[in-house]
Structure 1
Amino acid sequence: MFDKNDFEVFNDDTLSGRLELIRKNLDPKFEILGQDLLQSLEDEYHQKFFLKIAKHQRRTKNPPPDTWLAINQDKKGYKKTPHLEFGLWPDRYFITFSLLADIRDRENYYSILEKYQNKIISEGWGVSNDHTSSVLKDATEFDNVIKHYQKVKSSDLVIGFELLKNDSIVSSSDYDQLLKDKFMKLSQYLVLFNKEAAK
Structure 2
Amino acid sequence: MNYLFDQYVFDTFKLDSVDGRMDAIRSRIQPLFHHYAQQVADQLADHHLPNLPIHVAKHLRRKVHPAKNTWVAIGGDKRGYKKYPHFQLGINPDYVFIVLAIIENPINEKNIARAFRQNLSQFERLPNDLIIIPDHTQLPYIQQSEADFNKLFDRLENIKKAEFMLGRLAKVGESVLENQASTSQWIQETISDVLPFFELAINSPRAK
Normalising by structure 1, we get a TM-score of: 0.88
When structure 1 is superposed on structure 2, of 62-71 and 184-193 the one drifting more is 184-193
CA distance in 2, matches of 1:46, 1:168: 30
Contact kept in structure 1, 2:52 and 2:74, CA below 8 Å: yes
CA distance in 1, matches of 2:176, 2:54: 27
User: Counterparts in 2 of 1:2-81, with a 5 A limit?
Assistant: 2-4=4-6, 5-81=8-84
> CA offset at residue 75 of structure 1?
2.8
Residue 137 (structure 2) aligns with: 132
Residue 158 (structure 1) aligns with: 165
Contact kept in structure 1, 2:4 and 2:178, CA below 8 Å: no
CA distance in 2, matches of 1:38, 1:19: 25
- State how many pairs are aligned: 199
User: Counterparts in 2 of 1:91-130, with a 5 A limit?
Assistant: 91-123=94-126, 124=128, 125-130=130-135
- Look up the SS of the partner of 1:191 in the other structure: helix
User: Structure 1's 144 and 136: CA in aligned 2 closer, same or farther, altered over 3 A?
Assistant: same
> CA offset at residue 128 of structure 1?
3.4
Amino acid at match of 1:3: F
Contact kept in structure 2, 1:136 and 1:160, CA below 8 Å: no
- From 136, 153, 166, the equivalent of 1:146 is 153
Residues 97-122 of structure 1 show CA distances to partners (whole Å, capped at 9, x for unaligned) of: 12223211222212111023221222
Amino acid at match of 2:139: S
CA distance in 1, matches of 2:109, 2:140: 23
Identity %: 23
Asked if residue 186 in structure 1 is aligned to residue 194 in structure 2, the reply is yes
Residues 63-97 of structure 1 show CA distances to partners (whole Å, capped at 9, x for unaligned) of: 11111110114333100111110011111011111
User: Structure 1's 79 and 46: CA in aligned 2 closer, same or farther, altered over 3 A?
Assistant: closer
Contact kept in structure 2, 1:127 and 1:145, CA below 8 Å: no
Normalising by structure 2, we get a TM-score of: 0.85
> CA offset at residue 36 of structure 1?
2.0
CA distance in 2, matches of 1:16, 1:75: 27
When structure 1 is superposed on structure 2, of 170-179 and 52-61 the one drifting more is 170-179
Contact kept in structure 2, 1:84 and 1:97, CA below 8 Å: yes
- Look up the SS of the partner of 1:182 in the other structure: helix
Contact kept in structure 1, 2:86 and 2:198, CA below 8 Å: yes
Amino acid at match of 1:194: I
Q: CA RMSD, aligned part only?
A: 2.2
